[in-house]
Amino acid sequence: MAKFTWLGDGDPEAQDIILFGHVFVKGESVNVTDKNVAEKLAGNPMFTTEKADPTPADEPTSEELADRADEGTEKGALKARLKELGVTITGNPSIDTLRNKLVEATR
């Protein structure tokens, strides 16, 4: 979402604060992913905002998440067999759709 840096509150003794479950050290940016928290901090004059780093590349795609959920199921087995046969599967097709594709691929 965005990075926020706490500028301090005028108290020279204060070096950090805990706000909305995040620890803000004076002058150091913190990545905030919660939209509601980001909106609240964006309106606070004691914080500066910058765009957050892009999502890490190792985040699973929605198809990878669906494949993980289907592991050990008939649906997962159908998907694996279709991939072996070189059939491209997009989205989250139903078991019936996968069965039909398998019949077509093995003709």
Encode pLDDT of 13-55 as tens digits.
Answer: 888 998 888 999 999 999 998 888 988 998 899 999 987 666 5
Which percentage of the chain shows pLDDT scores above 90?
Answer: 32
Tokens encoding 20: 């909305």
How does DSSP classify residue 45? T
**Arithmetic mean of pLDDT, 48-72:** 72
* pLDDT at residue 55, as a whole number: 55
Q: How far is CA 14 from CA 25, 26, 38, 53, 95, in A?
A: 9, 8, 22, 27, 59
* pLDDT at residue 53, as a whole number: 60
* pLDDT at residue 11, as a whole number: 83
68-86 b/e (C-beta count within 10 Å ≥ 16 → b): eebeeeebbebbeebeeee
* pLDDT at residue 52, as a whole number: 64
35-50 b/e (C-beta count within 10 Å ≥ 16 → b): eebbeebeeeebbebe
